[in-house]
Structure 1
Amino acid sequence: MKALGTAVATLAVAFVAVLSLLAMVLIEGAAEADEASDGGGGLQGVPSEVRPWILKADAQCDQPAMAPALLAAQLYHESGWNPNAVSPADAMGIAQFIPGTWATWGRDYDGNGRTSPFDIGDAVMAQGKLMCSLLRQAKNSGYPGDVRALALAGYNAGWGAVERFRGVPPIWFSRAKGQTEGETYKYVRLIMASIPRFEGPGQLEVSGSGRGPDALRRASTRLGTPYSWGGGGPSGPSTGFCDDRNGYLNGRCSASSTVGFDCSSLVQYAYWPSTKLPRVAAAQYGATSHRPVSRNDLKPGDLLFWSKGGASVIYHIAIYAGDGNVLHAPRTGRVVELQPMASAMPAGDYFGATRP
């Protein structure tokens, strides 16, 4: 692709990028999908139908600065994983391409006989190739700063803006008259700050079949999802709420603005719909206590409980993941993670285990 064509294409996509962010509240039908981790790419918190395309786009880029988490963070802020998103500026699909830009970068990457920005494979691969081109330009430019930030700035404002300032445009810069100052500056900072959220451990390998392994396997697709007190349920993560003690982080109510799970909603999600467990940990114990399991007989998928006094005051639940580990949503400020059972919660609070 010649430099001029690339500059025009990136400017068109850049025009859409911030509009997409501003229009997110208008986008309906966001994708409901399992999120997964991948050991090869170090990717987490990504819908399972998007993950393989991100990894493929990364693998086909020859730029060292390209990473799956970079593409994931950008896609998340473009459309919130919604493959059917349409913005007021006629930007379409998960990567929010406008028709003119799609004509340059769009291909039938998924081999289904059509080229569509609403096809996840086509859109993610096109986004990856555009970003790869921008990363190459950023590296060759010699401009100071992180080449990922330079590429993101080029994606948002067009490479011409990066050349003008010999770097990421400053906060006072606006791409056009009448537009908000600092859009590109904030766009870059927002996505760069989000990259670690999508960098994660490898996917938990779960062997066997049956109710327990199947539930553990489903829960493992949510590794890296934020903890949100009162959030989450059978259909997936959601924002939560704060009560007089829970859901706060650094003095403010974090749960009301955090999309995620708490410990018991993660368990409910894992077992649904084959086993429709109640919503809270104490009730989940009550629903499964007729099948207690000793610590010596734990199997993947068993439920573990912690309490300060008895069954009525159980305060935490986790899923046994094998090899002495549990998969759980620990507390506000943390994410769904794999931890040793011995250190997941205070050892003296361990109450017992059940098998749904």
Structure 2
Amino acid sequence: MKVLVGAVAVLLGIAVLLGIGVVVLIVDDDAAATEASDGGGGLQGVPEEFRKWILKADADCTEPGMTPALLAAQLYQESKFKTSREEATSRVGAQGPAQFMPGTWATWGRDSDKNGEVSPWDIGDAVMAQGRMMCSLMKSAKNSGYPGGVQALALAGYNAGWGRVQEYGGVPPETFARGETFNYVKLILSSMKRFEGPGLLTVSGSGTGPDALRKASTRMGTPYAYGGGGPAGPSTGFCDGTNGYLNGSCAASTTTGFDCSSLVQYAYWPKLKLPRTAEAQYGATSDRPVARGDLKPGDLLFWAKGGSGFIYHVALYAGDGNVLHAPRTGRHVEVAPLTSAMPQGDYVGATRP
């Protein structure tokens, strides 16, 4: 929406936004309730409170270039899904998670969440306005005949204004605004895969465990960040001399994500306020052990070197012999077989929070 992203932000964004493959998770339990974690829309790595609005904005647009992943990648680039006035107000006055300037908001803003207020700070209002504007820009792009593709042209129009796209007959070149719009378009298109979820991601059942698994599954694709994340969601982490490094550099300090135990803490919060570390989570739940043959969705699984001693990893049981976890630096929140998620000899056991 605005010409703001400098070279540093672009480089950090490229470091964080890595593509991942598609995983299909089906948790089949004999409980009554069934809920699709992503609405069946093929979306992952998105905060829970944004998901339904992204899927609705996509559904309301008939342009084939519109996808949930495109909207998600754009929101991440605009605000990293931040919603506070301190974190989501730009130096030129763009506001909210979709970074609307007041004049543009007056055109596209609606009370989409029906709370009686039309506000760029409301997630529903902002995302639906983003979707309406992008859909309109895609129609203009399709009719323009300009090269580059409708997604790229629409993104350029969102960032710099459609008039600039017309001026240059396509996406403005790197020479325009120090490459801001050029890099904005390139980064969002290259990062979309991170948000492209499986066509089916279903968690069956109700209760504390399935609900926690369902919540954690909405974070599939989020990067691993040692020391990062917590009840409020992903955050940057830190390196401690041993952990958090990738190729000799401290990746954790520049990666917004979860580590294994913060993902579990986030999943159960606030219904159950588990402690922060895997070791402490084991201590808080070890009086409720679960045999391997009795595992249910949402149960916690633990690993320690040699199967004893310090607990170094925790995961959520995802059904059908799989776990959902944040494995290690350089990886993302993902589903993996229990037998290979971590060394089998390190498996300690499972508990039920």
The verdict on a shared fold, with TM-score over 0.5 as the criterion, is: yes
CA contact (8 A) 2:100 2:120 kept: yes
Q: Distance in 1 between matches of 2:262 and 2:48?
A: 20
CA contact (8 A) 2:307 2:345 kept: no
Q: In the TM superposition, what are the counterparts of 1:11-160 in structure 2 within 5 Å?
A: 14=1, 17-19=2-4, 38-83=38-83, 84=85, 85-160=88-163
* Higher alpha-carbon deviation: 301-310 or 60-69: 301-310
* Higher alpha-carbon deviation: 106-115 or 148-157: 106-115
Q: In the alignment, is residue 278 of structure 1 matched against residue 275 of structure 2?
A: yes
For residues 61-111 of structure 1, the C-alpha deviation after alignment (integer angstroms, 9 at most, x for no partner) is 121111111111212222232344333433222222222222222233333
Q: Structure 1 pair 251/157, CA: closer, same or farther in 2 (3 Å)? A: same
Tell me the matched-pair count: 322
Q: Any stretches of 5+ residues in structure 1 without a counterpart? A: 1-13, 25-35, 175-180
Select the structure with the greater relative contact order (CA < 8 A; seq sep ≥ 6): 2
Q: In the alignment, is residue 251 of structure 1 matched against residue 248 of structure 2?
A: yes
Q: Structure 1 pair 133/271, CA: closer, same or farther in 2 (3 Å)? A: closer
* Higher alpha-carbon deviation: 345-354 or 145-154: 345-354
Residue 172 of structure 2 is matched in structure 1 by 169
Of 259, 262, 267, the residue aligned with 2:264 is: 267
Cα shift at 1:282: 2.8
Q: Structure 1 pair 314/111, CA: closer, same or farther in 2 (3 Å)? A: closer
Indicate the SS of the match to 1:231: coil
Q: Distance in 2 between matches of 1:109 and 1:280?
A: 39
Q: Distance in 2 between matches of 1:352 and 1:272?
A: 22
Q: Distance in 2 between matches of 1:303 and 1:220?
A: 14
Q: Distance in 2 between matches of 1:79 and 1:243?
A: 28
CA contact (8 A) 1:249 1:333 kept: yes
Indicate the SS of the match to 1:43: coil
Indicate the SS of the match to 2:309: helix
Q: Distance in 1 between matches of 2:320 and 2:289?
A: 19
Q: Structure 1 pair 349/134, CA: closer, same or farther in 2 (3 Å)? A: same
Q: Structure 1 pair 114/212, CA: closer, same or farther in 2 (3 Å)? A: closer
Residue 300 of structure 2 is matched in structure 1 by 303
Q: Structure 1 pair 198/112, CA: closer, same or farther in 2 (3 Å)? A: same
Cα shift at 1:274: 4.4
Q: Distance in 1 between matches of 2:320 and 2:230?
A: 27
Indicate the SS of the match to 1:97: coil
Of 341, 346, 350, the residue aligned with 1:353 is: 350
Residue 316 of structure 1 is matched in structure 2 by 313
Q: In the alignment, is residue 200 of structure 1 matched against residue 197 of structure 2?
A: yes
For residues 135-170 of structure 1, the C-alpha deviation after alignment (integer angstroms, 9 at most, x for no partner) is 122222222223211211122222233233332222
Letter in 1 for 2:206: G
Q: Any stretches of 5+ residues in structure 2 without a counterpart? A: 10-35
CA contact (8 A) 2:203 2:213 kept: no
Q: Distance in 1 between matches of 2:345 and 2:102?
A: 61
Cα shift at 1:233: 2.3
TM score, norm. by length of structure 1:
0.82
Q: Structure 1 pair 186/200, CA: closer, same or farther in 2 (3 Å)? A: same
Indicate the SS of the match to 1:296: helix
Letter in 1 for 2:3: V
Q: Structure 1 pair 296/37, CA: closer, same or farther in 2 (3 Å)? A: closer
Q: Distance in 1 between matches of 2:206 and 2:174?
A: 54
Q: Distance in 2 between matches of 1:60 and 1:288?
A: 45
Cα shift at 1:329: 0.7
Q: Structure 1 pair 162/276, CA: closer, same or farther in 2 (3 Å)? A: closer
CA contact (8 A) 1:226 1:259 kept: yes
Letter in 2 for 1:205: V
CA contact (8 A) 1:20 1:79 kept: no
Q: Distance in 2 between matches of 1:116 and 1:303?
A: 40
Cα shift at 1:42: 0.9
CA contact (8 A) 1:203 1:221 kept: no
Cα shift at 1:322: 1.7
Letter in 1 for 2:250: C
Q: Structure 1 pair 275/199, CA: closer, same or farther in 2 (3 Å)? A: same
